[in-house]
Amino acid sequence: MKGFKFHGINAGIKPDSQKDLGIIFSEKPASMAAVFTKNKVIAAPLILGKDRLKNGVCQAVLVNSGNANCFTGEQGLQDAIESSNIVAKAFEIPEELVMVSSTGVIGLPLPIGNFEKGIPLLIKDIDSGSVDDFAEAILTTDTTKKIIRKECIHKGKVYTIVGIAKGSGMIKPDMATMLAFICTDLNILYSMLQSILQKSCNRSFNRISVDGDTSTNDTVLCLANGMSQAYIEGEDDIIEFQKNLDEVLFSLSKKIVKDGEGATKLVKIIVKGAKSPRDAFMAAQTISNSNLVKTALFGEDPNWGRVVAAAGRSGAEVVMEKIDLLFGDVLIVDKGEWCGKGAEIKANKILKEQEFNIILDLNIGKFEDYFLFCDFSQEYVRINADYRS
C-alpha cells in the first residue's frame, strides 16, 4: 500500500513490557471518515476526534492501549490535545491533521509523561515499523492481532485496503472496547467516504456482540490518501468500493467475535420471515445479547426455549404457532412445535462445532437480518473480574 507507515512500541503505559503506543502516518493528507460510539459517556479522544472530523482530512493517528483516557475531565482532554501536538511537531504537520485514540481502563489519568518520552521514539523509528507492530500496540485483552489486507483493481489501477482492529470484550457496538483503523491508497472525497464507511459499519461492526456492552471509546476511522492513482467518482465506482470495504470490515468484525473474551464458539443468528426490517434486526440483536442463550451454547445445550423467549421479548412481532428454529441444518422447532428429543440429540452435535448458524424463521414476512456473537464461559468472568488487578 502506497504512502502509509505504521509502528508500535512499548512506552510504559501498560504495567509490563508489551507494546502500548502505535502510530499511523500518511505521507500526504488523506481523506478521513469516522464513526464513533453512541454511548453518552465518551472518552477524551472522541471529544477531540469529533471536532477534527469536521475537517475531513487527517495525516497521522496516535493510538495507545492500557488507558482509556475516559472520565478524566478537562485534564484528560488537554492530555489528548497535548499528545496530538507532540505528534504534529515531530512530523511538522498541522495539529488539526492528527487524530488520537485510546483503549484500556476507564477513569485513570493519562500518563502524559510516557507519551512525551514515547512519541519521539515511535516516530524516529517509524521506517522500521510495520502494520503488525501497530496492531500489537493497540491490544488489551485480545489474544491475537486482527489484520485484513485486500488488493483491488479499479479501471486498471491497483489499490489496497488494510484494516486493523482490536476488540475482545465490552463488545456491542452502537455507532460503531473496539477500535478499527482502515487505510487505503484509493482517491475518494471524504464526503463519499463517510457515507460508505457508515454503511459498512452498519453491516459489520453493528452486527456483532460479545457481551452486550457498548464501550465509551468505540471508534472506526478510515483514511484514503489517493496515492495509488485509483479514483472513485461515479455511482458504479462507489458500489464497487462499498463491496470491497464491506468485505474488509465484515472480516474484521468476525475476528473480533471469534476472539471474544473466553469465547469457544462463533455463532451467526439469522432471523428470517420477519414482518419488517426492524423486527428482523431486533430479534437477531436480542438473541445475540442474551446471556442465557450464550451460556447454553457454551454448555452445548440446544436449549431452544431460550432462543424463542429472547425473540419474544425483543419487540419484534412474533406468532408462536408459525416459528421454525434450526441449529445448523437440524430443525428443532417446526411451526411452533418441538421436534422431540431426537432432534435435540442431533442439534447437540452441531453445538460441539466451533462455528455454526442458528436460523429463526418467523414466517410472517419477507425480511431478514443477522448478528455474529459468541458463547459465555467461566473464562469471561475471570478475565473481567481481574481486569484492573
Domain ranges of the chain: 4-258, 266-385
| pLDDT tens digits for range 31-81 | 999 999 888 899 999 999 999 999 999 999 999 999 999 999 999 999 999
Residues in the chain: 389
Question: Which of the 8 DSSP states describes residue 169?
Answer: S
- Angle, CA of 131, 135 and 137, to the nearest 5°: 120
Coil, strand or helix at 100:
strand
* Other beta carbons less than 10 A from residue 199's beta carbon: 15
4-258 against 266-385: fold identical:
no
Fold classified for 266-385: Ubiquitin-like (UB roll) (3.10.20)
Partnered with residue 65 across adjacent β-strands are: 103
- The cell for 247 is 468485505
pTM over 0.85: yes
The residue assigned the cell 445445550 is 301
Per-residue b or e along 201-240, where b marks 16 or more CB atoms closer than 10 Å to that residue's CB: bbebbbbbbbbbebbbbbbbbbbbbbbbebebeeeebbeb
Q: Could you say which of 3.60.70.12, 2.40.50.140, 3.40.50.880, 3.40.50.720 is the CATH number of the domain covering 4-258? A: 3.60.70.12
C-alpha cell at 115: 507519551
In the chain, which stretches have pLDDT less than 70?
168-177, 211-214, 380, 383-384, 386-389
List 103, 140, 177, 219, catalytic entry: 177
Residue 290 backbone phi and psi in degrees, to 5? -75, 120
Q: And the C-alpha cell for 121?
A: 521514539
Tell me whether residue 246 is exposed, middle or buried, using C-beta atoms within 10 angstroms of its C-beta: 0 to 12, 13 to 18, 19 or more: middle
Q: What is the pLDDT of residues 132-188, one digit of tens each?
A: 999 999 998 888 999 999 999 999 999 999 999 998 655 555 544 589 999 999 999
Annotation marks residue 216 as catalytic? no
